[in-house]
Structure 1
Amino acid sequence: MRVFVTGATGWVGSAIVADLLAAGHHVTGLSRSAEKAFALEVLGAHALLGTLADLDRLARAADEADAVIHTAFDFANFPAGAAEDRQAIEAMGAALRGSDRPMLVTSGLAKLAPGRLATEDDAPDAAFARQSEAAAQAVRDRGGCIATVRLAPSVHGVGETHGFVPHLIRLAQRTGVSAFLGDGANRWASVHRQDAARLYRLALEQGVTETAYHAAADEGVPFRDIAAVIGGVLGVPVEPRGREHFGWFADFAGGDMAATSERTRRLTGWKPTGPGLLAEIAQAGYYAPVVGAGAGLPA
């Protein structure tokens, strides 16, 4: 297949590109800079310079592809990023309309089913700021072949410098305590980066038949266990703290974001093989690239 990938040089997108190429597919990746475009070319992909704001360019690239995988999102400016994300999905979806060529868009598991395991049948909170799934539904309502891959809150791997866990590591380094909210029993689903990448490919190869797929290997890791491993590696106390300790991150630190991927595995044959979250972050090597990295979440 000829696959167009947005966010092709990002944490998840770059792993998807490598996985697709290794499986014999042809990839065109969207890149915001010549330097990153060169990195794509070295891998064997074709690079397309542009951003999500270049709607005509996105539509042309989608029209020339057999499938589209959309992972790009501007977390640094969330409201504007959410609007840009929706417009990009609509533009690429319109280009694919009238065909059976599939498109996979990316979302997350936050606020799906607090207090229980979220399933692929659960719908996101309509008030949630990220509107990727609503945009996908609008494309689907117009006859598009489109589905959402919901990423676990932790997509981990050695080399990760952004995302939720690196943020917690930097917070513990700065404050001298690895903290949790309340009793820390709230759970995070997690998935290894390489496993997440493989799911996107399998969903395309098996035929996109669902509205949502769950990239969740660990169904739910208690947050206090995450804090305990971080504290152990850094040699700092592991203690409860109030919301003010976490600042803007408090809703995520206290969020219950557990999910099952049973249906996804059954339909696609996906079998996660990477290390679980706790085993991953227990490695001293996981922390080296986090030190001194920026505090933002992945773009």
Structure 2
Amino acid sequence: MRVFVTGASGWIGSAAVDELLAAGHEVTGLARSDASAAALEAKGAHVRRGDLDDLDSIRAGAETADAVVHLANKHDFSNPAVSNAAERAAVQTIGDALVGTDRPFLLASGVVGLATGRPATEQDLSPFHGAESPRGGSENLALEFADRGVRTVSLRFSPTVHGTGDHGFIAAIAAVARQKGVSGYPGDGTNRWAAVHRSDAARLVALGLEKAPAGAILHAVGEEGVPTREIAEAIGRAFDLPVTSIAPDDVQEHFGWIGGFFAMDGTATSIATQELLGWSPTGPTLIEDLDAGAYAVTE
């Protein structure tokens, strides 16, 4: 298939492009910089220049492809309204371009905030609707297109997609630990984060493209939940730092923007996804990655 990928040079996207190319697909990646374009071309992928705000380029990419994998996001945590609006506009544009084609449209979403007091499952519907909600309510918006001749598939990723070279949430928490001289965890550290290795997440994208039916919800979850205290202890070992609890009232001040996320409980299962796709996580666990030096300082 000719697959158009947004976020093709990102953390998950670049690994997903590798999987898609290995599976024999022709990939065109959206690239906003010369460096991103060069990296895609070096892999054997085609390039469409543009970014998440370039709706004309996104529309053209969707219209000329057999499938779309939408992984781009601004991730502007200082101004989430900007990220949410851009995400919703991009999803609307892609959906409109694919109406009536029965072509696959896979988009990135998350597992956090779907359930309270238990792990989220693929049967849990997203409570996020409308432009003001997280990700601009993009998952529900995209799934509406499943009734309009689009094979929409939601890719719900764990809050940490980890591995060597990750610059996401775990890297941010490790950076705070180095800056503060102490590896902290919120409260008693029993709140948990689902996790998945980057290689497993990328395989899920490729399998979802090939096998998932319209309206499917897939969970990229390798571990149901890793306690934040264990994460802090592993970071402490990695950087030879003391480990301590951060009082709930002090979490935001201590961790900054990442504090609100680190204090959340974000557990989820992937049982239904594994059964549907024949997908089984095989990569290292989050703690194994931390202990192996995946987040070691290289600069």
TM-score using structure 2 length = 0.93
Question: In structure 2, what is the equivalent of residue 297 of structure 1?
Answer: none
Question: In structure 2, what is the equivalent of residue 205 of structure 1?
Answer: 210
Alignment of 1:66-105 (within 5 A): 66-76=66-76, 77-105=79-107
- Greater than 4 Å deviation, 4+ residue runs: none
Q: Percent identity?
A: 48
Instruction: Select between 122-131 and 191-200 the one with higher mean Cα deviation.
Output: 122-131
**8 A contact 2:16–2:206 mirrored in 1:** yes
Residue deviations 1:112-162, cap 9 Å, x none? 1132110011122337422221321333344422121011011011111x2
Q: Which amino acid aligns with 1:264?
A: T
Question: In structure 1, what is the equivalent of residue 16 of structure 2?
Answer: 16
Question: In structure 1, what is the equivalent of residue 55 of structure 2?
Answer: 55
Verify: 1:188 aligned to 2:193, yes or no: yes
Question: In structure 2, what is the equivalent of residue 270 of structure 1?
Answer: 279
Residue deviations 1:45-80, cap 9 Å, x none? 001001122212211211111111000000124211
After superposition, the CA RMSD in angstroms is 1.5
Residue deviations 1:77-128, cap 9 Å, x none? 4211111111111111111110111100101111111321100111223374
Q: CA deviation at 1:33?
A: 1.2
Question: In structure 2, what is the equivalent of residue 294 of structure 1?
Answer: none
Residue deviations 1:212-266, cap 9 Å, x none? 1000001111110000000112111111112231233222111110100000000
Instruction: Select between 168-177 and 209-218 the one with higher mean Cα deviation.
Output: 209-218
Q: Which amino acid aligns with 1:55?
A: L
Residue deviations 1:6-40, cap 9 Å, x none? 00000000001011111111100000012211110
Question: Partners in 2 of 1:18 and 1:183 — Cα distance?
Answer: 40
**8 A contact 2:52–2:74 mirrored in 1:** no
**8 A contact 2:122–2:218 mirrored in 1:** yes
Specify every segment of 5 or more residues in structure 2 that has no aligned partner in the other structure, as ranges.
none
Question: Partners in 1 of 2:36 and 2:63 — Cα distance?
Answer: 23
Q: Point out which structure has higher relative CO (alpha carbons under 8 A, 6+ apart).
A: 1
Match for 1:137 among 138, 143, 146? 143
**8 A contact 1:177–1:238 mirrored in 2:** yes
Question: Partners in 2 of 1:137 and 1:68 — Cα distance?
Answer: 14
Match for 2:164 among 158, 166, 175? 158
Q: 1:266 to 1:285 in 2, by over 3 A?
A: closer
Instruction: Select between 179-188 and 51-60 the one with higher mean Cα deviation.
Output: 51-60
Question: Partners in 2 of 1:37 and 1:135 — Cα distance?
Answer: 29
Question: Partners in 2 of 1:78 and 1:44 — Cα distance?
Answer: 34
Question: In structure 1, what is the equivalent of residue 44 of structure 2?
Answer: 44
Q: Which amino acid aligns with 2:142?
A: A
Question: In structure 1, what is the equivalent of residue 114 of structure 2?
Answer: 112
* Helix, strand or coil at the partner of 2:134: coil
Question: Partners in 2 of 1:149 and 1:52 — Cα distance?
Answer: 18
Question: Partners in 2 of 1:58 and 1:108 — Cα distance?
Answer: 22
Instruction: Select between 136-145 and 24-33 the one with higher mean Cα deviation.
Output: 136-145
TM-score using structure 1 length = 0.93
Q: CA deviation at 1:190?
A: 0.5
Question: Partners in 2 of 1:48 and 1:247 — Cα distance?
Answer: 36
**8 A contact 1:114–1:255 mirrored in 2:** no
Question: Partners in 2 of 1:175 and 1:218 — Cα distance?
Answer: 28
Q: CA deviation at 1:285?
A: 4.6
**8 A contact 2:49–2:57 mirrored in 1:** no
Specify every segment of 5 or more residues in structure 1 that has no aligned partner in the other structure, as ranges.
292-299
Q: CA deviation at 1:2?
A: 0.8
Question: In structure 2, what is the equivalent of residue 283 of structure 1?
Answer: 292
**8 A contact 2:110–2:157 mirrored in 1:** yes
Question: Partners in 2 of 1:241 and 1:286 — Cα distance?
Answer: 22
Residue deviations 1:140-197, cap 9 Å, x none? 344422121011011011111x211001110000111111111110110101111101
